[in-house]
Structure 1
Amino acid sequence: MNAKSARKLVVACALALSGVAGVSIGAVAADFQAPSTQADVKWQTDPALEQGMLNIRAVVEQSLPRIRANQFGDEHYNALGQAIETQAAYIVKNCKLEPAADAVLHDLLQDVSSGIDRVTARTAENQRTHGVSYIIAALDNYGRHFDHAGWTPIKVVP
C-alpha cells in the first residue's frame, strides 16, 4: 500500500468513526488530500492560528449533535459555513509561521475551504454532511501536524 492510499484509508476510517450522518465515506476519502509533510515533524503554531482553529473546532463540535439527529437545515449549514469561513480568514490574515509550516497550513486550509464549499452548497455535491467531514478531517490533520498544546480531536459520539 502506498502512502497516498494509506492516508485515504486512515481518513476513511476517521470519518466513519466520526458518526456524521449521511456521509459517503468513499467519496470523501477519495477527494481528500492530506498535507505533504514529514511524518515526525510537528510545526510550531502562533496565537492567531491556535485561536482560529479552536474556534473552528468549537463551532463544528457544537453543531454535530443536531447534524447527527438530522435537525440541521440549510440555514444552519450556511451559518456554520460562514462561521468557519470567518475563522479561516482570521487565520490567513493574522497567522505568521515559518514558510514550511505556512505551506502545510495552507494545505489544511484548502481542505477546510473544500469543506466550506460543500457545507454551504457552493459545489454541485448536495450532501452538506460531506463538507463537515472534510472539516473534521482537516482539524484532525491540524493536530497531527502542528504543536498545539492540549489539542484534541473532535470526540466520537456513537
Structure 2
Amino acid sequence: MRPTTRVLTLAAILASSLGSIGSSLAASDHQHAHGEATQTLQLNAGKRWTTDAALRQAMGTINDGMHEALPAIHENRLPTERYSELAELVRHQVAYMVENCQLSAAADAQLHLIIAQLLAGADAMSGTANGQRDGAVRVVGALGDYASHFADDNLKPLQH
C-alpha cells in the first residue's frame, strides 16, 4: 500500500517537531502547491483567512485543553505528566487538521506558521520541567495568532 501525500506530509510535520520546525514545515510537501512559504503571519487583504470544519474543530480542542490547564500553569502547579498530555493533544490535533485540510493554498501557507508554533510548544511541553511552562505559553500564543488571523468566531482567545 503506497502512502498518500497527506500521510507523508503528516509524517514530515510530526518529524519536524523533533528538529528544526520552521524550516521543515516550510519545505514540507503539503497537498497544495503554494510555492515558497511565507515568513510572517499575514491577514488576507486585511481580513482573517477562511477556515474549514476540521481546522475549527482541532483548534477548538487545543484551545479547550489549554483553557482547562491555564490556572495551574499560571500558578506553576501543573504536573509534568499533564504538560506531556497537553503536548500529545496538540500533536494529535495538528495531525487531524493536516490530514483533513481543505484550505486554499494561501490560507494553508499561513496555517503552517501557526502549526510550527504549536509543535514547538508541544516539544517544549514534552521536554524538561524548566521549559514546559514556556511551551504552554507558546501554544497559547499560537492560539491567539490563529484567532486574530483566521475566521473562527467560535474560538475564544485565552486570557493570560
Q: Distance in 1 between matches of 2:140 and 2:131?
A: 15
Aligned residues: 122
Residue range with higher mean Cα deviation, 81-90 or 65-74: 65-74
1:66 Cα deviation from its structure 2 partner? 1.5
| Superposition TM-score, scaled by structure 2 size | 0.70
CA contact (8 A) 1:77 1:128 kept: yes
- The equivalent of 2:51 in structure 1 is 45
Q: CA RMSD in A?
A: 1.9
User: Which structure 2 residue ranges, 5 or more long, are not aligned?
Assistant: 1-38
1:78-127, CA deviations, whole angstroms, 9 ceiling, x for partnerless residues?
11101111111111111210000000001100010110111111xx7832
Q: Distance in 1 between matches of 2:45 and 2:145?
A: 11
- The equivalent of 2:156 in structure 1 is 152
- The equivalent of 2:145 in structure 1 is 141
User: Which structure 1 residue ranges, 5 or more long, are not aligned?
Assistant: 1-32
CA contact (8 A) 1:34 1:141 kept: no
- The equivalent of 1:87 in structure 2 is 93
Q: Distance in 1 between matches of 2:129 and 2:70?
A: 20
CA contact (8 A) 1:116 1:131 kept: yes
Residue range with higher mean Cα deviation, 105-114 or 36-45: 36-45
1:54 Cα deviation from its structure 2 partner? 0.2
Q: Distance in 2 between matches of 1:79 and 1:143?
A: 23
1:149 Cα deviation from its structure 2 partner? 2.2
